[in-house]
């Protein structure tokens, strides 16, 4: 059915062209023989093909273009005819004898063109007559093309300023009047087009209509090209008239297109000076018109204009561009209650973009835009619509991108309020965007107030919001988010300790609301941040200040203590333990023995009470041993207590190899290889012997359980420890003992039951090689090794 | 044989010429045989002056009972063909009975002839003016020669020339107001006006203005009315909407109009009408007819 229609149309077009060409041929002959009468007759017949109603605008255009070419020839002929003595006035009458209106008017326009050029009558009179006579064609498509022809031939003949057709009687006002009238009529025809024909073809017609829109818009283009249309005239005449037509036509398609056209064809400067008028029309448009795009275009243009040169900026201020735009947007939103939220928000996005580009220094404007947006959003449910959400995100991202500096955004009081209207997921996304922006730009947030504001913004990440959907988020995303928060915490720094303290307090307050899932991510950076401060203080204290100030290491340590405690309460004991140890070390550096002791105590308590997993215990005990080994602050008593504890726990580990390793690690607690380090050789030996015992026990257990001895790794490890202390000069480690151990290992290796682990063998071999090497090296060490036989 | 044929031919040539024949305007006249000839143009109250020359065929003489010239104004109704009604008849005796041997010319003059009606060539009626020269003879038929001439009478500009303005319509369907700037038009005039659409509920396809001539002949039961459409002039293409006003500009010069003849000697009348026709998409025609008066304006005026 449809394809039939297309085929028919092709056929009709072909017929039309055939008829057209035949008459065009006859016309050419008449033109060649200077036969005016025949020329008129055949040209009228030729143009009669344009009277068809059967072609779609697209096909009709083809016919029109052919006519246009032929009419150019005819125009030349008319011109020659007047040179041959035929009066142009007579010609002007003669063509009007044609009985059919459409050919008549095409011919009239053609002669009219010659008439104007002849200057026998003022251009304005001829133009006025033509534009009036064209009213006779009320068929939308035919009328549009006819008037488009009129517009085409008259373009270079307007009585514009500086044009040769300008005269005493024809002013630029007449030119404008002419174009405006033609525009108005064309628009009416265009709008009317939608009502032609059956309703079921409406969609097709709308498509055809939009194909024709440029015919209408061309008039506005012509207007913009008229030299004489200065700002004054544009303001007083052109714009009000055009807008009147736009508003009155009450047609969605036309209003949208024409508004866009106005914005595109006239200079930015004019827009700026007539903002009020232009914007005033917006709320009067049909509620279905996509005003947001129109306004966005306008703002886009204006902001481009503003950025084109700094000289124009005062103009923007002078005309209060911002407040006008802002007001207009408010009105539009009011006038179009059906506009979806997304529309309103995208309007605000445009306004914001405009503001950021034109008035980057006016944060109050930005805030105002956000405020308006909040107002619009309030009362609505949280933006469920994904498009709206997207726009809100765009709205929020714009200032970040512009200022490259979150600090600026933090000054915007309405910023967090807008964020409140995002759904949780998006809110988080936005928060991540904010954080990323900070990261990217390496922005340091240096005051507590800003930190406060920032955390207000990203609170979606910091804590569970009310009504967070229960279904759990992707674990990885969550980690990603929390990691970014963790990174953020490191950006919150201030050289000034007092302020830094405040920042830390603020951050702490916020992150403590995070709940068990977040704390493991957020507390460590806080702790380290605080420890950094402690180190800073320490440097200062070295200069003899700070002890009495509002910020003291003690206070910080108190804070840290409390903070880590929270962590331990949320079942992250291992982490808490590590942090306690870190703090202890820091306290050690600050020479605060009681504090360090307390931290260790906490670490041990945690170890006792919370660390149940045996693997975790192994790790923990090694950490404890490692830290403890480096502690220098403790007095003998405290140290004894702690080392005792550590050794005790080591021996109580579940698996024998673990026990063994922990115990020989403990040996280091009694031998700190430093100037004033403790060097208790006897207890070292005790530890090692104990380790050896445990290793033995482990070996036996293995024998019992699996019928084969375990690898000799443990023995080799212990041997290495022996060697270490031997080298360090522990008097209790003698070459005899080492010799004994080597032999023990050898025996173990030879026993049938032992299994051979290539790794262990390699380990042993290289240990042996080492001993050999030391022996051969000679010197003091060589001598020392001399007694050991391999 | 030539002799015999010659016997039936008129023995002389008669020609009628006008004194101002060279300067007088000639206009085409359509003859009965379909050919057009140029004939002199007169108006009422003019002197018709000229001469008749009779030239016998060499070697022959014309015996006659007298020569006369008549000026006749005739109306011929086609339903009564052949029957001429002379509303004007003037006679001048040119010669007393005798013989004409050689070429002989007779001057004639009709002074300030009253010719109230214009020459007219219509569908059912013809009004014509002729000069008729008759050479009366005994026993044989008279020798007669005719010379047509045309009469056109000019009217001064009418002192009152009101516009035609009217609102018409079909209830709830179509209301229009039309205006023609004048009610009286001269032959080369332009009809200017506009049509204003007050209400349009029908789908109009186009609108035309027709010029119709209504020729009424005879009287009483024998009245014949013939209406011709002389012009069909498209005013509008497509369907207008309410509030639209469509201009009218129709040049009358291309059409062969005559002045309006209200009552020509109680024999016939010719009237002109403007007929505004709106055609809808189902080709229904809505029209309104208005009489206009056409007059002849002195051309050099």
- Can you give the pLDDT at residue A4? 57
> Vertex A736, ends A733 and A737: CA angle to 5°?
50
Average pLDDT of the residues of chain A: 82
Hey, of A37, A134, A136, which one would you mutate to test binding to chain B, going by the most B CBs within 10 A of its CB?
A136
The 8 Å CB, 24+ separation contacts for A90-99 are A91/A115, A93/B251, A93/B253, A94/A36, A94/A40, A95/A40, A96/B249, A96/B251, A97/A40, A97/B251, A97/B253, A97/B254, A98/A40, A98/A44, A99/B231, A99/B232, A99/B233, A99/B234
Mark whether B102 and B224 lie in a shared domain.
no
Instruction: Confirm if A419 and A397 have CB atoms less than 8 A apart.
Output: no
Span B88-94, mean pLDDT? 93
Is B81 a domain residue? yes
Type and span of the H or E element at B29:
strand B26-30
Span A272-290, mean pLDDT? 86
User: A97 vs B251: CB contact, 8 Å cut-off?
Assistant: yes
At B67, give phi and psi (nearest 5°).
Answer: -120, 135
Hey, of B192, B207, B237, which one would you mutate to test binding to chain A, going by the most A CBs within 10 A of its CB?
B237
Q: What's the pTM?
A: 0.73
Q: Give the count of domains, chain B.
A: 2
Is B158 a domain residue? no
User: B237 vs A51: CB contact, 8 Å cut-off?
Assistant: yes
- Can you give the pLDDT at residue A1? 42
What is the band of B300 on the pLDDT scale with cuts at 50, 70, 90? low
Hey, of A135, A145, A194, A199, which one would you mutate to test binding to chain B, going by the most B CBs within 10 A of its CB?
A135
What is the band of A774 on the pLDDT scale with cuts at 50, 70, 90? confident
At B245, give phi and psi (nearest 5°).
Answer: -125, 130
Tens digits of residue pLDDT in A624-638? 888 888 887 777 788
User: A136 vs B245: CB contact, 8 Å cut-off?
Assistant: no
- Can you give the pLDDT at residue A471? 52
Is B301 a domain residue? no
Token readout for B298 is 């002195």
User: A288: distance to nearest CA of chain B, Å?
Assistant: 24
- Selecting from B236, B249, B251 the residue whose C-beta is nearest the C-beta of A138 gives B236
Tens digits of residue pLDDT in A366-376? 888 888 888 77
| Bigger pLDDT: A524 vs A188 | A188
C-alpha–C-alpha distance, residues B37 and A134, integer Å: 42
User: B14: distance to nearest CA of chain A, Å?
Assistant: 41
What is the band of B3 on the pLDDT scale with cuts at 50, 70, 90? low
Q: Which of B151, B176, B197 is the last residue of a domain?
A: B151
Is B140 a domain residue? yes
C-alpha–C-alpha distance, residues A378 and A698, integer Å: 71
Number of H helices, E strands in chain A: 39, 0
Q: Where are the domains of chain A?
A: 1-119, 122-264, 267-385, 423-571
Nearest CA in chain A to B207: A136
User: B182: distance to nearest CA of chain A, Å?
Assistant: 19
Choice among A127-136, A532-541, A631-640, B264-273 with the minimum mean pLDDT: A532-541
User: A324: distance to nearest CA of chain B, Å?
Assistant: 36
Nearest CA in chain B to A193: B239
Is residue A390 predicted with pLDDT exceeding 80? no
A623-660 b/e with 16+ CB inside 10 Å = b? bbbebbbebbbbeeebbebbbebbbebbbebeebbbbb
User: B9: distance to nearest CA of chain A, Å?
Assistant: 45
Mark whether B91 and B120 lie in a shared domain.
yes
User: B221: distance to nearest CA of chain A, Å?
Assistant: 38
Mark whether B146 and B172 lie in a shared domain.
no
Among left, alpha and beta (phi > 0; psi -120 to 50; other), residue A741 is alpha
User: B251 vs A96: CB contact, 8 Å cut-off?
Assistant: yes
Torsion of CA B171, B173, B178, B184, to 10 degrees: -70
Span A434-444, mean pLDDT? 78
Is residue A242 predicted with pLDDT exceeding 90? yes
ipTM of the modeled complex: 0.88
Is residue A669 predicted with pLDDT exceeding 50? yes
What is the band of A544 on the pLDDT scale with cuts at 50, 70, 90? very low
10 Å Cβ neighbour count for A187?
26
Mark whether B18 and B125 lie in a shared domain.
yes
Cα torsion angle, A13, A17, A19, A20, sign: positive
Residues of A in contact with B236 (CB under 8 A): 101, 136-138
Highest averaged pLDDT of the listed ranges A154-163, A178-187, A510-519: A178-187
Mark whether B63 and B140 lie in a shared domain.
yes
- Can you give the pLDDT at residue A109? 95
User: A138 vs B245: CB contact, 8 Å cut-off?
Assistant: no
Residue percentage of chain B with pLDDT more than 90: 68
DSSP string, A705-761: HHSSB--SHHHHHHHHHHHHHHHHT-TT--HHHHHHHHHHHHHHHHSTTBPPPHHHH
C-alpha–C-alpha distance, residues A109 and A150, integer Å: 6
Closest C-alpha to B56, from B10, B5, B108, B7: B10
Token readout for B139 is 């026993």
- Can you give the pLDDT at residue A668? 83
C-alpha–C-alpha distance, residues A177 and A229, integer Å: 11
Tens digits of residue pLDDT in A400-415? 777 766 777 777 777 7
Residue percentage of chain A with pLDDT more than 90: 22
Type and span of the H or E element at A5:
helix A2-32
- Selecting from B206, B235, B251 the residue whose C-beta is nearest the C-beta of A93 gives B251
User: A137 vs B236: CB contact, 8 Å cut-off?
Assistant: yes
- Selecting from A96, A99, A140 the residue whose C-beta is nearest the C-beta of B249 gives A96
Mark whether B47 and B76 lie in a shared domain.
yes
Span A531-555, mean pLDDT? 65
Nearest CA in chain B to A146: B237
- Exposed (0-12), middle (13-18) or buried (19+): which is A124, by Cβ within 10 Å? buried
Mark whether B95 and B204 lie in a shared domain.
no
Tens digits of residue pLDDT in A83-109? 988 899 999 999 999 999 999 999 999
Closest C-alpha to A564, from A581, A580, A584, A586: A580
Choice among A327-341, A715-729, A743-757, A775-789 with the minimum mean pLDDT: A743-757
Closest C-alpha to B290, from B162, B121, B118, B158: B162
C-alpha–C-alpha distance, residues A766 and A762, integer Å: 6
Hey, of B238, B246, B256, which one would you mutate to test binding to chain A, going by the most A CBs within 10 A of its CB?
B238
Is B118 a domain residue? yes
Residues of A in contact with B255 (CB under 8 A): none
The residue assigned the tokens 């995303």 is A477
Torsion of CA B199, B203, B208, B214, to 10 degrees: -80
Mark whether B132 and B197 lie in a shared domain.
no
User: B23: distance to nearest CA of chain A, Å?
Assistant: 26
Tens digits of residue pLDDT in B180-237? 999 999 999 999 999 999 999 998 999 999 999 999 998 888 889 999 999 999 999 9
C-alpha–C-alpha distance, residues A373 and A370, integer Å: 5
Q: Which of B120, B151, B182 is the last residue of a domain?
A: B151
Span A562-584, mean pLDDT? 77
What is the band of A549 on the pLDDT scale with cuts at 50, 70, 90? low
User: B234 vs A101: CB contact, 8 Å cut-off?
Assistant: yes
Cα torsion angle, A540, A541, A545, A546, sign: positive
- Can you give the pLDDT at residue B275? 96
At B113, give phi and psi (nearest 5°).
Answer: -75, 135
CATH of the domain at B116: 2.60.40.640
- Can you give the pLDDT at residue A545? 44
- Selecting from B235, B241, B254 the residue whose C-beta is nearest the C-beta of A136 gives B235
User: B246 vs A135: CB contact, 8 Å cut-off?
Assistant: yes
- Can you give the pLDDT at residue A14? 92
At A26, give phi and psi (nearest 5°).
Answer: -60, -40
Closest C-alpha to A222, from A209, A235, A238, A211: A238
Token readout for B206 is 């186009």
Number of alpha carbons in the 13 Å side-chain half-sphere of residue B264: 32
Number of alpha carbons in the 13 Å side-chain half-sphere of residue A707: 0
Is B1 a domain residue? no
Range of the domain at B23: 12-151
Instruction: Confirm if A295 and A329 have CB atoms less than 8 A apart.
Output: yes
- Selecting from B240, B249, B253 the residue whose C-beta is nearest the C-beta of A138 gives B240
Establish, for the pair of chains A and B, how many residue pairs have beta carbons separated by less than 8 Å. Answer: 55
Span B138-165, mean pLDDT? 90
C-alpha–C-alpha distance, residues A209 and A256, integer Å: 13
The residue assigned the tokens 């008039």 is A219
Tens digits of residue pLDDT in A289-327? 888 888 888 888 888 888 888 788 888 888 888 888 888
Distances (CA, A) of A243 to A8, A247, A254, A300: 40, 6, 11, 20
Closest C-alpha to A394, from A370, A410, A377, A365: A370
**Segment 45-104 of chain B within 8 Å of chain A by CB:** none
**Segment 228-247 of chain B within 8 Å of chain A by CB:** 231-241, 244-247
Is residue B7 predicted with pLDDT exceeding 60? no
Mark whether B80 and B113 lie in a shared domain.
yes
Is residue B35 predicted with pLDDT exceeding 80? yes
Three-class SS state of B161: coil
Residues of B in contact with A188 (CB under 8 A): 241
Mark whether B91 and B212 lie in a shared domain.
no
User: A44: distance to nearest CA of chain B, Å?
Assistant: 13
Is residue A546 predicted with pLDDT exceeding 50? no
User: A97: distance to nearest CA of chain B, Å?
Assistant: 7
DSSP state of A467: T
Closest C-alpha to A749, from A784, A785, A719: A719
- Can you give the pLDDT at residue B255? 93
- Can you give the pLDDT at residue A468? 53
- Can you give the pLDDT at residue A198? 76
Q: Which of B116, B151, B186 is the last residue of a domain?
A: B151
Span A750-779, mean pLDDT? 78
- Can you give the pLDDT at residue A469? 53
Cα torsion angle, A231, A233, A237, A242, sign: negative
- Can you give the pLDDT at residue A604? 84
- Can you give the pLDDT at residue A312? 80
Strands B143-151 and B36-42: parallel
């Amino acid at each position: 059915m449809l394809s039939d229609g297309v085929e028919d149309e092709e056929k009709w077009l072909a017929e039309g062209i055939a008829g057209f060409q035949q008459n065009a041929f006859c016309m050419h002959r008449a033109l060649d023989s200077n036969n005016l009468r025949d020329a008129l007759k055949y040209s009228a017949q030729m143009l009669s093909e344009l009277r068809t109603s059967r072609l779609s605008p697209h096909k009709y255009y083809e016919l029109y273009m052919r006519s246009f070419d032929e009419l150019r020839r005819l125009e030349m002929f008319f011109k020659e005819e007047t040179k041959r003595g035929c009066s142009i006035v007579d010609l002007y009458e003669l063509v009007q004898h044609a009985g059919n209106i459409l050919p008549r008017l095409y011919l009239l326009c053609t002669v009219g063109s010659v008439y104007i050029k002849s200057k026998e009558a003022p251009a304005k009179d001829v133009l006025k007559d033509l534009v009036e006579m064209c009213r006779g064609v009320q068929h939308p498509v035919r009328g549009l093309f006819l008037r488009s022809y009129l517009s085409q031939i008259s373009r270079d003949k307007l009585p514009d300023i500086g044009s040769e057709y300008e005269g005493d009687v024809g002013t630029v006002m007449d030119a404008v009047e002419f174009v405006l009238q033609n525009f108005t009529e064309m628009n009416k025809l265009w709008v009317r087009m939608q009502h032609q024909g059956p309703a079921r073809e409406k969609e097709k017609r709308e498509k055809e209509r939009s194909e024709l829109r440029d015919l209408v818009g061309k008039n506005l283009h012509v207007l913009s090209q008229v030299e004489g249309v200065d700002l004054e005239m544009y303001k007083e005449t052109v714009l009000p008239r055009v807008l009147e037509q736009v508003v009155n036509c009450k047609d969605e398609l036309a209003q949208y297109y024409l508004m866009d056209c106005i914005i595109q064809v006239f200079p930015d400067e004019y827009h700026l000076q007539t903002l009020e008028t232009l914007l005033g029309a917006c709320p009067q448009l049909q509620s279905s018109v996509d005003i947001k795009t129109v306004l966005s275009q306008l703002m886009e243009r204006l902001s481009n204009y503003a950025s084109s040169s700094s000289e124009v900026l005062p103009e923007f201020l002078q005309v209060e561009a911002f407040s006008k735009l802002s007001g207009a947007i408010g009105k539009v939103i009011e006038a179009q209650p059906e506009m979806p939220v997304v529309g309103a928000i995208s309007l605000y996005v445009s306004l914001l973009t405009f503001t950021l580009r034109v008035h980057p220094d006016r944060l109050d404007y930005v805030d105002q835009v956000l405020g308006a947006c909040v107002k619009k959003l309030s009362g609505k449910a949280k933006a469920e619509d994904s498009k709206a959400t997207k726009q809100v995100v765009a709205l929020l991202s714009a200032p970040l991108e512009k200022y490259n500096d979150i600090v600026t955004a933090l000054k915007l009081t309405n910023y967090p309020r807008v964020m409140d209207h995002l759904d949780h997921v998006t809110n988080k996304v936005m928060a991540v965007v904010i954080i990323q922006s900070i990261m990217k730009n390496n922005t340091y947030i240096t005051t507590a107030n800003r930190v406060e504001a920032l955390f207000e913004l990203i609170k979606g990440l910091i804590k569970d919001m009310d009504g967070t959907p229960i279904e759990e988020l992707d674990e990885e995303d969550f980690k990603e988010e929390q990691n970014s928060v963790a990174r953020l915490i490191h950006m919150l720094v201030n050289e000034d300790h007092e302020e830094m303290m405040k920042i830390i307090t603020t951050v702490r307050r916020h992150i403590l609301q995070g709940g068990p899932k977040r704390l493991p991510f957020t507390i460590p950076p806080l702790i380290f941040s605080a420890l950094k401060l402690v180190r800073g203080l320490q440097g200062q204290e070295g200069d003899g200040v700070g002890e009495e100030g509002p910020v003291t290491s003690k206070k910080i340590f108190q804070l840290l203590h409390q903070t880590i405690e929270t962590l331990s309460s949320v079942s992250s004991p291992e982490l808490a333990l590590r942090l306690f140890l870190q703090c202890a070390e820091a306290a050690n550096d600050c020479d605060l023995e009681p504090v360090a002791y307390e931290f260790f105590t906490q670490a041990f308590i945690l170890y006792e009470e919370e660390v149940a997993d045996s693997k975790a215990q192994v790790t923990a005990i090694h950490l404890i041993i490692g830290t403890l080994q480096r502690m220098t602050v403790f007095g003998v008593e405290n140290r004894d207590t702690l080392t005792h504890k550590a050794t005790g726990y080591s021996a109580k580990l579940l698996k024998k190899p673990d026990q063994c390793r922990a115990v020989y690690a403990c040996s280091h607690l009694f031998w700190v290889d430093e100037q004033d380090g403790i060097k208790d050789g006897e207890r070292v030996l005790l530890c090692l012997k104990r380790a050896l015992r445990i290793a033995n026990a482990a070996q036996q257990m293995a024998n019992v359980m699996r019928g084969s001895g375990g690898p000799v790794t443990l023995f080799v490890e212990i041997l290495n420890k022996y060697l270490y202390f031997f080298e360090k000069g522990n008097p209790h480690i003698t070459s005899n003992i080492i010799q004994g151990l080597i032999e023990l290992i050898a025996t173990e290796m030879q026993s049938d039951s032992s299994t051979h682990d290539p790794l262990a063998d390699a380990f042993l071999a290289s240990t042996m090689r080492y001993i050999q090497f030391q022996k051969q090296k000679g010197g003091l060490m060589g001598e020392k090794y001399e007694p050991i036989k391999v | 044989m030539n002799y015999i044929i010659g016997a039936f031919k008129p023995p002389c040539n008669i020609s009628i010429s006008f004194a101002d024949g060279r300067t007088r305007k000639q206009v085409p006249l359509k003859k009965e045989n379909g050919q057009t000839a140029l004939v002199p143009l007169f108006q009422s109250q003019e002197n018709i002056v000229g001469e008749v020359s009779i030239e016998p065929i060499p070697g022959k003489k014309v015996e006659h009972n007298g020569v006369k010239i008549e000026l006749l104004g005739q109306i011929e109704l086609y339903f009564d063909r052949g029957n001429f009604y002379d509303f004007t008849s003037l006679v001048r005796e040119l010669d007393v009975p005798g013989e004409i041997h050689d070429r002989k010319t007779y001057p004639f003059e009709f002074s300030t002839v009253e010719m109230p009606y214009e020459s007219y060539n219509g569908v059912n009626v013809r009004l014509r003016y002729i000069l008729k020269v008759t050479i009366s003879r005994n026993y044989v038929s008279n020798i007669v020669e005719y010379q047509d001439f045309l009469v056109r009478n000019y009217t001064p500009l009418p002192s009152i020339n009101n516009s035609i303005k009217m609102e018409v319509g079909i209830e709830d369907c179509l209301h229009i107001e039309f205006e023609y700037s004048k009610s009286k038009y001269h032959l080369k005039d332009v009809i200017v006006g506009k049509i204003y659409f007050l209400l349009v509920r029908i789908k109009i396809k186009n609108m035309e203005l027709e010029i119709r001539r209504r020729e009424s002949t005879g009287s009483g039961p024998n009245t014949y009315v013939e209406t011709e459409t002389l012009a069909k002039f498209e005013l509008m293409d497509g369907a207008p909407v309410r509030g639209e006003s469509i201009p009218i500009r129709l040049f009358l010069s291309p059409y062969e109009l005559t002045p309006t003849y209200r009552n020509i000697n109680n024999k016939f009348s010719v009237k002109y009408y403007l007929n505004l026709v709106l055609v809808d998409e189902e080709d229904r025609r809505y029209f309104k007819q208005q009489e206009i008066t056409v007059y002849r304006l002195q051309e050099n005026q």
